[in-house]
A and B are shown apart, each in its own frame.
Chain A
Amino acid sequence: MKLLLKYILILLIVVVSACDTSLEIDNPNDPDRERLFADSDDVEGLAGSLYQNIYQGAHDYDGIELMLATSSDNVSCSWGNAGMRDMSWEPRNQAWVNTPSYGFAANTKYLFDKMYSSINTSANIINAVDMDLDMGEREARIKAWCKFIQGVAYGNLALVFDRAFLVDETQTVDPELKSAVDYDEIMKAAIGYLEEALRYAKENELSIPNNWLGQESEVSNERFIQIINTHAARFLAYMPRNSSQLAAVDWNAVKKYADNGITDDFEVVNDNGVSWYAEGADYLTANGWGVTDMYVVNLMDPTQPQHWDDNPAFAHPPKSTSPADHRLETDFSYLASNWFQAARGYYHYSNYRMSRYDEFYVNATGPKSEIMLSENDMLRAEAIVYSGGSLSEAADIINAGTRITRGEMEEVGPDIDEIIQAIHHERHVEMMLTGMGLQFFEMRKLDLLQKGTPLHLPLPAETLQTLQEPQPYYTFGTVAKADGTNTSNGGWR
């Protein structure tokens, strides 16, 4: 019996002690705040991925890039995905359905969540740096960078939504709808953050690591300052929801920022979907998906129809033989047939598609323009015109740019209408598929969005649900609600 007991005991000990029986297990797969914010290198790493979140929020298929492109008559696509079709019906009576069960409610929420992810994290980082962590010389860079991120994230929110919540390392809000502030307040705050970023950058010699901004090489202090300036110019200039708000923009400020802006294309190096992927533009040009809206085709060749009428008798327009804009032949390809369903409306049809990025999207690897030099140039010209500056100076900027070098078009003279039209043209053609919603912001401030198009979007339904707001949730859009402040009552047609 004693021997037996001895053997049993040995067996038990061997069996049980051979394994670690602790029930306290940390998650080795993903960090939490405790782990991340304890180490200054980790915090820097976290900061470095903030712009990725913004890029994803702006360009992922799950976001709103696709629906802003179709609603602005820049790209045409009648597939229902990502709200593309609902936002581009003619007449515009299908958007915006603000209920949690709406098929595309998640798209606006995606942008909202991604921007707040960057805002909240940069606030946490600034707090960590101020309180516990000793970053040494890196402190100025982190603060400049976090302020830049907050500025860009709030800028994006102010461009797209009618209101948002102002939170940062110094302030928070109560979780209810009435804590939200209007978009002009948000934009003021956004410019404020960008100004702070500029201050840090100018007072210190910083350089931004290349992977923070998806660049090939390190971003120098000078270039970082330029990038911040261009962002500020864009946000101020794209803010107006209609032409009267356009007149109220501080164009002198826009000019100041744009004149100190980028001096060459700001490109983000895509890496085949790993960290940086301009996904939205992939869908907007893929074979079988987006085609070029006839509005844009007509801009490049006025002999082409401006609108594909909604009847089967409308003839398929022939290929252009000598378009006014040479880019119709270099950047676009002729389509002899359409892949969309006739039942969804012939007005979605087109005879051209954008092929500039075809080779790029085979592997989605390599640099892709996020903000072109052309965009900054147009902002400079626009600011000069609207601030009452020299029209010939504005015309010179345009004539030195892509209108002539790539488009081989006629030069513009010192005439306001000609200049504004030329800027409009570059934004639709040269800057197609670069920044999210660029053409949407352009069309809305000139009262050109088709009647019934929302001029901005309401807060996402799922967010309102979490705030325990009672349904039905407020929303915009449809011809019946066309008031010129929330829903377009203008339209180029």
Chain B
Amino acid sequence: MAEPDANLEAPNPDGQPYYLRMNHFNGETVNPLYTLYQAEREDKSRRWMGNYAAHIDFTNWLTLDLSQSIEIQNSRYSLNNPANTWTTSGGTDETFGMSYTGGSLTKNSREKITKNTQATLNFNHKFGDLLIKGKLSYLFEDRNNEMFEMYASDYSFKGTPDFDNFVTINDGKSEDFTERAQNYFAILGFDWKDKILLDGMFRYDGSSLFGPDARWNPYYRISGAYRISQDFDIPGINELKVRAAYGTAGMRPGYSFQYEIYKIDNGGFTQDQLGNKGLKPSITKERELGLNVTFLDKFSFEAIYAKSVTEDQFLNVPLFAPVNEGFKSQYQNAGTVESNTIEMSLGANWLANRSGFSWNTNIVFSRVRQKITELPIAPYVFGETDGGAPKIFYVREGETYGSMYGHTWLRSLEEMAQQLPEGASISDYEINSDGYVIPAGTQGTPEELAIKKLDELGNPLYTKIGDGVPDFNMGIANTLSYKGFTLYFLFDIKHGGDVYNGKGQWVTRDLRNEVMDMSGVPEGQKKAYDYYVNFYDTNIANSYWVEDASFVKLRELSLGYRIPTAALASFAKGTFKGANIKFVGRNLLTFTDYSGYDPEVGSIRQPYDGTYKYPNFRNMAVSLTLEF
């Protein structure tokens, strides 16, 4: 990291601002403002969406819908580093060791086209008390994604960012992905006297992402509901419905999973993955139970419990290369994940237009538990890191998906007693003010160092140090309106769930972690730098950096006003039929104990707060809607 006294505004030897080598003692630290000043980057994107549809009524109970939607997304960027861009090596004493790179140019263009064509035959007829609805549908999906990129370095002539201006073009690449699917489905629904409902769906999908033998797969769903309140009159209950459903769904793999790949790059190659034309979809079977109640004319409550089992996950299985023609891995169907979900929501319409004033509240609650119940291959680590840091998410049978594994520190003398080094006794150790076992008498000195928990072989124990799954998530939304004004605010609550504070760990290496600042700490309670650097532990994943990331956030606050039609009639000869103005603020407040920027970082499966992660931005907007 940069020294706090580095002068970011100093000039470079040729007068360019933001002197690059702002730290003379370390050639790695460069001035971040220099690249922002010097590099020229332009990103353009264009999106076109269109849809055309036809609806034909054959009779009043048989209709046909045809539609095609097209989306074309084109994005391009160009990055020009001018010829006189400084770099920290290759120079002389006069230029402080810096020299010009000669510049470089990169241009990239990508276009994605998605076309979906669908034809649906609808049937809807009432036979006495029984209403029967049906659909027969065919959906064709067509996706294409193409990219070109060129890169060249060392300009022949300055000031002309054009690919003709290079002696050689260093690198070019292109990609072309096409994916198609044909899906047939049939839906049939029965509704008897508006109180018993039964639905069934059957689907037959074929996708180009699978080999020919595994391409076509059937899926289905059946569900039923009973509106109890239609048959029984329960005081205070306006509506009571129970429902249940069971269904299957298939997941499609990534584009490349089925192919055998000799990865070509600039004329060279590496053997990457062995193909798998027999790769099947990963199937999820889910059963769901639900309850809907509206009561006291004001409240509505819904509860859902869902249990799903996903089998035949797409796992990238490592292969023993020497007997697999040099191929290192293959995607196979293996592994099972089970998950249970509870969701509840409660809506309360406290006041419905009582003298112009209304107020309603909506609360949602959810809790998900997911576990890997079967893993037929060796456990493996995965996840993004900041380069140089080991991966911390561990997939293992019987473990929650997204568990973090690493080393951990002793917090009790009983544990220390299990791993005393030769010749030492338990009286040589004590617990420090943070709760860690340290050598006795070293508190407040550079020898105060926490001790790792060891396994039977004397190596640091590799164990679970946390996971990102929260105990529950809740959202509380309130809408109040009076005359033309509407006030809306939403609180998001996450309780439980850990985050790995990678940022905190890295800055400790450079002695800059806030927790190391001893100014203001009373004399007898100060701790030495060495104590914290010991926890940095050469960036090895360890439990010190796992923090609880519960939070309460004011997710949204908005105030809107609808201008009365009468007032508009007299403005601009009544051109406007309606006008609405709204102020919206998002991510306004966060209440949390998490010490990093934002506890809402990464994902549930990879709650990793790395050096490149920004906090969520707070934003405020004004919107004006005019109806003509």
Contacts and interface: CB of A to CB of B under 8 A. Distances in A.
B25 A339 contact: yes
B215 A23 contact: yes
B341 interface: no
B323 interface: yes
Interface in B362-420: 378, 380-381, 388-390, 394, 405
A15 B68 CA distance: 8
Contacts of B271: 117, 120-121
Interface in A311-348: 337, 339, 341, 343
A167 interface: yes
B56 A33 contact: no
Nearest to A468: B378
Interface string A181-209: 00000000000000000000000000000
A410 interface: no
A31 B271 CA distance: 10
A343 B269 contact: no
B270 A272 contact: no
Given A4-B56, A19-B142, A25 B171 contact: no
Given A19-B142, A337-B25, A33 B259 contact: no
A275 B267 CA distance: 8
Contacts of A4: 56, 58
Interface string A79-100: 0110001000000000001011
A120 B66 contact: no
A362 interface: yes
Given A23-B206, A30-B263, A363-B102, A120 B178 contact: no
B281 to A, nearest CB: 14
B13 to A, nearest CB: 16
Interface of B: 25-29, 54, 56, 58, 64, 66, 68, 87-90, 97, 99, 101-102, 115, 117, 119, 140, 142, 153-154, 170-171, 175-182, 206-208, 212, 215, 256, 259-264, 266-272, 275, 318-323, 325-326, 328, 378, 380-381, 388-390, 394, 405, 457, 459, 462, 509, 530, 533, 538-540
Contacts of B97: 287
A46 B180 contact: no
Contacts of A359: 89-90, 99
Nearest to B142: A19
Interface string A106-118: 0000001110111
Nearest to A211: B267
Nearest to B207: A23
A120 B321 contact: yes
A103 interface: yes
Interface residues of A, number: 80
Contact of A288 (B29, B101, B264): B29
Contacts of B153: 272, 363, 365
14 contacts: A4-B56, A15-B66, A16-B117, A23-B206, A30-B263, A31-B262, A45-B267, A100-B378, A271-B170, A287-B97, A359-B90, A463-B321, A466-B318, A472-B457
A467 interface: yes
A214 to B, nearest CB: 10
A298 interface: no
Contacts of A22: 180, 208
Interface string A284-297: 00111100000000
Given A11-B54, A81-B388, A274 B175 contact: no
Contacts of B64: 8
